[in-house]
Amino acid sequence: MLPRIVEAEYVHGFVIHLRFADGTEGDIDLENELDGEVFRPLRDHSYFRRFRVHPELHTLVWPNTADFAPEFLYEKTKVKV
């Protein structure tokens, strides 16, 4: 079963607090993940903050169609360095 984000809240910089349907939650820093043309606009903090949780895909999406796979976000949230 795919992880489902149920809540996302901006924290600071490129950090977002995520809560998943199974109760897993934590902060994820996406600064080092913003490579490639589709992610270039997200390097602007004001644009980065425009994310939302897609109601059908249950992952983070931005107005320019940038998104991250929910499995990737789930694993990054679970792993604490």
Angle, vertex CA 21, rays to CA 26 and CA 41, nearest 5: 60
Neighbours of 69 (CB within 10 A): 13
Give the per-residue pLDDT at 80: 56
Kindly tell me the burial class for residue 1, based on how many C-beta atoms sit within 10 Å of its own C-beta (0-12, 13-18, 19 or more): exposed
- The residue with tokens 């913003």 is 34
Residue 61 scores a pLDDT above 60: yes
Tell me the pLDDT of the chain averaged across its residues.
95
How many CA atoms are closer than 13 Å to the CA of 49, on its beta-carbon side?
7
Residue 7 has pLDDT above 70, yes or no: yes
Average of pLDDT values for 8-21? 97
Statement: residue 39 has pLDDT above 50: yes
Domains and CATH numbers, the chain: 5-78 (3.30.2020.10)
Residue 66: the pLDDT is 98
81 pLDDT higher than 70: no
